Structure 1
Amino acid sequence: MEQRTFTLGYWEDRSGHRLDWKFGYRGEASSFGRIEVVYPARRHGDHHVTEVTGDRVPTTTFDGWAYVRTPSLLFASLTLGGAGVRLRRNRWAQTRAGRAVKMQVEGRSYRYQATSGGTKNHALIRDGVEIRTQHHGRGKAKKVMFTITGAVTPTDVALAAVMCGVDTRNLTRNGAIRSVFSRSLTWLD
């Protein structure tokens, strides 16, 4: 099967008050044109929103409980082109596939899961299509490389891109354990 790749580079805008700072990734995504991931695109209460916009991809937002600058999977909601998408996951599962975020979009079943023990490699999988994301670098040199296998649609690319601006550490067992301790200490304050 043919594989294609594209890379989105990190950017940040630290102008104004620190609560107005924006971060994200942007770049050219082959036949899908320019794509931009922004987090937090908006804040409301204890929730942050990551937003994806682009030339040929539907506007996609992920809203979740705030973790540093990104939304987490806790109390999360996903919107694709203005329509809500139901998210499901089994936080107690022992395997990566079991801990995956599952969603139904336009009659298709998707699974977003960690592909390694760390928090930098993930895959969005649906029947016949896989988009793998790998985070590289640190600081302003950060990048996300997308490896596409199969006949992808703009919806597939938008879903994979929005998840780059989401705290997905709970998709691995070690990440979930670290998350529990971190939240416990935060709630004690």
Structure 2
Amino acid sequence: MQRHTYTLDHWEDRSGHRTTWKFGYRGSLGEFGRVEVVYPVSRHGDRHVTAVSGDTLPATSFSGWAYGRKPSLHLGQLSVGGAGIRLQRNRWAQTRAGRALRMRVAGREYRYLATGSRHRDRALVRDGVEIRTGRHGRGARKKATLTVLGPADATDLALASVMCGVNTRNLTRGGAVRAFFNRSLNWLEVFQ
């Protein structure tokens, strides 16, 4: 089975007002060329958008309810090559596999799931291909790694890359509980 590991470096642009700050990852994906993940590329009220661009990757974006600087899975919308993609997940499932984000892109079924109890280790899975994503380090040494198992194509890598810029805590039970309490506390602040 083919196995390739790519490392993307974290970057920040804190010029201007804080609502215009941009963050993300950039690097090379071998034969697929350069890639850049930007979040939030735009803000629409309480929604943030993460976008991926690259030499050979289809334009991919994820929009969702703002959680920090990234969009969350709550009210999430995915677009690949300009086409909207329907997302499904069972937020009440007890297992990580049951809580996986499911999507159908270019006629293929994908699952994006947590591979560990922490929110940093995830995997994008389809028939014959698995891309494991992980985030490591802090500050200027922060990095994202994509480990590709199988014959992945540009769409697979675009999907895995965009999810590096999405808050996916809700894919674990512990992360869902933390996100619920955080949203509840934010909601209470509205009434003060």
> Structure 1 length as normaliser, TM-score?
0.99
Q: Secondary structure at the match of 1:175?
A: helix
Q: Is the contact between residue 5 and residue 148 of structure 2 (CA under 8 Å) also seen in structure 1?
A: yes
Mapped to 2, the partners of 1:8 and 1:176 lie a distance apart of 27
**Structure 1 equivalent of residue 123 of structure 2:** 123
Mapped to 2, the partners of 1:169 and 1:142 lie a distance apart of 18
Query: Aligned pair count?
Result: 189
Encode CA deviations 1:29-54: one digit per residue, 9 max, x unaligned.
11110000000000011100000000
Q: Is the contact between residue 4 and residue 147 of structure 2 (CA under 8 Å) also seen in structure 1?
A: yes
Q: Which blocks of at least 5 consecutive residues in structure 2 are unaligned?
A: none
Mapped to 1, the partners of 2:42 and 2:155 lie a distance apart of 22
Deviation, 1:186, is 0.7
- Code of the residue aligned with 1:15 in structure 2: it is S
The alignment status of 1:165 with 2:165, answered yes or no, reads: yes
Mapped to 2, the partners of 1:115 and 1:177 lie a distance apart of 18
**Structure 2 equivalent of residue 13 of structure 1:** 13
**Structure 2 equivalent of residue 45 of structure 1:** 45
Deviation, 1:2, is 2.1
**Structure 1 equivalent of residue 28 of structure 2:** 28
- Aligned-residue RMSD, C-alpha: 0.5
**Structure 1 equivalent of residue 174 of structure 2:** 174
Within a 5 Å distance, the mapping from 1:130-169 to structure 2 comes to 130-169=130-169
The alignment status of 1:89 with 2:101, answered yes or no, reads: no
Q: Is the contact between residue 2 and residue 151 of structure 2 (CA under 8 Å) also seen in structure 1?
A: no
- Code of the residue aligned with 2:113 in structure 1: it is Q
Mapped to 2, the partners of 1:51 and 1:87 lie a distance apart of 17
Mapped to 1, the partners of 2:140 and 2:19 lie a distance apart of 19
Q: Which blocks of at least 5 consecutive residues in structure 1 are unaligned?
A: none
Deviation, 1:65, is 0.4
The alignment status of 1:79 with 2:70, answered yes or no, reads: no
Mapped to 1, the partners of 2:170 and 2:92 lie a distance apart of 10
The alignment status of 1:183 with 2:187, answered yes or no, reads: no
Q: Secondary structure at the match of 2:158?
A: helix
Q: Secondary structure at the match of 2:152?
A: coil
Q: Secondary structure at the match of 2:52?
A: strand
Deviation, 1:139, is 1.1
Encode CA deviations 1:153-187: one digit per residue, 9 max, x unaligned.
10000000000000000000100011111111110
Mapped to 1, the partners of 2:50 and 2:174 lie a distance apart of 24
- Code of the residue aligned with 1:161 in structure 2: it is S
Q: Secondary structure at the match of 1:111?
A: strand
Runs of 4+ in 1 over 4 A off after TM superposition: none
Deviation, 1:140, is 1.7
